[in-house]
Amino acid sequence: MAYERSVSAADHDLVPESVWNIRLPELRFGRDATAELPHQIRDIGVPDGAHGLLVTDETLVDVGHAGRVRDVLVDAGLDVDVYDDCEREPSVAATEDCISFVRDEQGEAGYDFYVGLGGGSCLDTAKVTRSVIANGGEPLDYIAEPTGSGEPLETSGAPLVLMPTTAGTGSEISPVAILSVPEKEIKEGISSAHVRADAAVLDPTLTTTLPPELTARTAMDALGHAMEGYTTHEYDSLLRPNDPADRPVYAGRTPLTEMFSEKAIDLLSSNVRRVVHNGDDLDARANMLQGALFGAIAGLTAGASLCHAMAYPVGNKYHTYHGETIAVLTPASTIDYNSASDPSRFADLAELFGIETTGLTDREAADELKSQYVQLQRDLNVLPSGLNELAGIEEEDIDWLASQTVDTQARLLRCNPRPVEKADVAAIFRDALHNWE
Ligand SMILES: [Fe+2]
């Protein structure tokens, strides 16, 4: 029983966890699901004639997706303003800009509903904006101390629907919004059940314009969520909190998350080559969008772990893309280091990846998984060969990265299935410098 990884109460007060729960937005999925957006909005309580805000970015305006979504809403009798200034990996200041836009247009009450359209950055901007308008103040009020004030969100606010245009981040279902704090070179999350959207509409026709590099990066992020969720600790290896409200957001894997991670790994690993090499393959795009959703349901409730913990310091310092960072770190962390925690589970993971494991020991199966995962990255042709190619990272940078991981990512490391010390993290970073020559 992993008592030391559990919630913050005296051990003798607590018993082993015996309950899991899952909360999800209403989900609507499929080709041309965009046409049903007005129905979805009404289903979550938005009245006819309401006035909403579409939160997106210029690229999605340019390719026509923002206009298509806006037209669907207007044709259904809804009034819509558009905010299209979302930035990649949004900073606190960037979300403040969107919040100011809302207050300038609508005052403190804000809009009747919000629609976020885009990659994780647009979706997170929409989540933060809706939350801050409903709860008052500024984003920093709700970011954890010491960066922010760590105040709890008291309410969710006006209805929010998210529409992902990448198959990757899982922001459409997650209870977290990630913001960068450039002056501190860190990223911080606002994490609360109130941040989660009320509904998500997933339409693969909105993902076909994604170029190969972005398709590959976001796919590797999605695969990371599925693989980390599949291999994290079980929910009943923690302690049960006295108050159910204190149950952690990342609460361990359950029979339900297990089903989703298995299907996600299958869908993502068997379709990613198709979408990267032919972005117009709508069947493959639909499989990827579904795989990313399932991976998020698994990984972002069971818990992302070591690989994500290590990816944040890299992203903060070198401004790398999240999915690309996950891709280069996964072989050394999620597969190589963590497979010692439960070798037979990693042999099962290899099978989900489509590897023939008959006659292999569990360790050999895990090693084969690592080599096939690296081969997959090489086949995609658009991903870096390791941390060195990703951002010029070298041996001398590792000590700082390992310290940052241990010092700032306790929330994720707590979920890792194998205990991890700074020296282990440094060795994993070293392994990930070059995944291939
Ligand atoms: Fe991720």
100 and 172 co-located in one domain: yes
236 and 189 co-located in one domain: no
Indicate whether 53 pLDDT > 90: yes
Task: Give 13's pLDDT tier (boundaries 50, 70, 90).
Answer: low
Domains identified in the chain, total number = 2
User: What is the distance between the alpha carbons of residues 110 and 116, in angstroms, rounded to a whole number?
Assistant: 15
pLDDT tens digits, residue range 253-264? 999 999 999 999
CA of 35 to the centre of ligand 1 (A): 29
175 and 216 co-located in one domain: no
Cβ atoms of 164 and 171 within 8 Å: the answer is yes
Q: What confidence score (pLDDT) does residue 301 get? A: 85
Q: Is residue 233 classed as helix, strand or coil in its secondary structure?
A: coil
pLDDT tens digits, residue range 60-113? 999 999 999 999 999 999 999 999 999 988 999 999 999 999 999 999 999 999
CA of 300 to the centre of ligand 1 (A): 9
Task: Give 7's pLDDT tier (boundaries 50, 70, 90).
Answer: very low
Cβ atoms of 314 and 387 within 8 Å: the answer is yes
What is the average per-residue pLDDT within 45-73? 97
Tally of residues, the chain: 437
DSSP string, 183-199: GGTEEEEEE-GGGS-SE
Residues paired with 186 in a beta bridge: 181
CA of 323 to the centre of ligand 1 (A): 7
69: CATH: 3.40.50.1970
217 and 307 co-located in one domain: yes
- Domain end (from 175, 202, 229): 202
Cβ atoms of 40 and 73 within 8 Å: the answer is no
Is 16 contained in some domain? no
Is 436 contained in some domain? no
What pTM was estimated for this model as a whole? 0.93
Task: Give 2's pLDDT tier (boundaries 50, 70, 90).
Answer: very low
Is 21 contained in some domain? no
Segment of 22-26, 300-304, 396-400 carrying the highest mean pLDDT: 396-400
Task: Give 15's pLDDT tier (boundaries 50, 70, 90).
Answer: confident
Is 414 contained in some domain? yes
Indicate whether 6 pLDDT > 50: no
CA of 93 to the centre of ligand 1 (A): 22
Is 13 contained in some domain? no
423 and 383 co-located in one domain: yes
Task: Give 5's pLDDT tier (boundaries 50, 70, 90).
Answer: very low
CA of 312 to the centre of ligand 1 (A): 10
What is the average per-residue pLDDT within 400-406? 95
Instruction: Give the range among 9-18, 96-105, 325-334, 380-389 with minimum mean pLDDT.
Output: 9-18
119 and 246 co-located in one domain: no
265: CATH: 1.20.1090.10
423 and 290 co-located in one domain: yes
217 and 276 co-located in one domain: yes
User: What is the distance between the alpha carbons of residues 196 and 173, in angstroms, rounded to a whole number?
Assistant: 6
Q: Is residue 323 classed as helix, strand or coil in its secondary structure?
A: helix
CA of 164 to the centre of ligand 1 (A): 14
Is 14 contained in some domain? no
CA of 349 to the centre of ligand 1 (A): 19
- Domain end (from 171, 202, 233): 202
User: What is the distance between the alpha carbons of residues 138 and 142, in angstroms, rounded to a whole number?
Assistant: 8
More confident residue, 147 or 129: 129
Indicate whether 185 pLDDT > 80: no
170 and 311 co-located in one domain: no
CA of 243 to the centre of ligand 1 (A): 29
- Domain end (from 174, 202, 230): 202
CA of 305 to the centre of ligand 1 (A): 10
Domain that includes residue 283, residue range: 3-8+210-431
Closest by CA to 238, choosing from 254, 262, 261, is: 254
CA of 53 to the centre of ligand 1 (A): 26
User: What is the distance between the alpha carbons of residues 290 and 302, in angstroms, rounded to a whole number?
Assistant: 18
Cβ atoms of 408 and 312 within 8 Å: the answer is yes
Is 280 contained in some domain? yes
CA of 366 to the centre of ligand 1 (A): 22
Is 77 contained in some domain? yes
Indicate whether 173 pLDDT > 90: yes
